[in-house]
Amino acid sequence: MRKSHGPAFSKQMIELVQCPTCKGKAVIKGVFHDLACAQCNASGWVVAATGEALPLEELVTQLSLRLQAAQRHISELKQPRATGPEAIYQEGNRRGAGGSNRTLD
Ligand SMILES: [Zn+2]
């Protein structure tokens, strides 16, 4: 494989696929205990283009990028529009304005 230009430690996301050996589980069922899957460096992921595991120092970053993307996705799903603290604050203001117009006697 030919080395590309630029720094060796690229922060770009590499396309990963589920490890076919352990089926993404990162471990293989042994007789007495689970064994770390050697095919994917016990990550459950291999490079889509080559089917091989990434070196550990690169693998950590790639998993982090994937995790960050997943967490962003989750937090977007958890935050429907117009129900944040701002929406609650505006609602409170409206109630306050209405209350002040009312006379008690
Ligand atoms: Zn594996």
Give the Å distance between the CA of 94 and the centre of ligand 1.
57
The residue among 105 and 22 whose pLDDT is bigger is 22
The residue among 13 and 103 whose pLDDT is bigger is 13
pTM above 0.95, yes or no: no
Name the band, by pLDDT with cuts 50, 70 and 90, for residue 102: low
Distance in angstroms (rounded) separating the CA atoms of residues 96 and 78: 29
Number of domains in the chain: 1
- Yes or no: say if 17 and 46 are a contact pair by the CB < 8 Å rule: yes
- Evaluate whether residue 85 is within a structural domain: yes
Give the Å distance between the CA of 52 and the centre of ligand 1.
10
- Evaluate whether residue 104 is within a structural domain: no
- Evaluate whether residue 49 is within a structural domain: yes
Q: Domain limits at 20?
A: 16-94
Give the Å distance between the CA of 62 and the centre of ligand 1.
16
- Evaluate whether residue 21 is within a structural domain: yes
Give the Å distance between the CA of 34 and the centre of ligand 1.
12
Give the Å distance between the CA of 54 and the centre of ligand 1.
11
Q: pLDDT, tens digit, for every residue of 59-75? A: 999 999 999 999 999 99
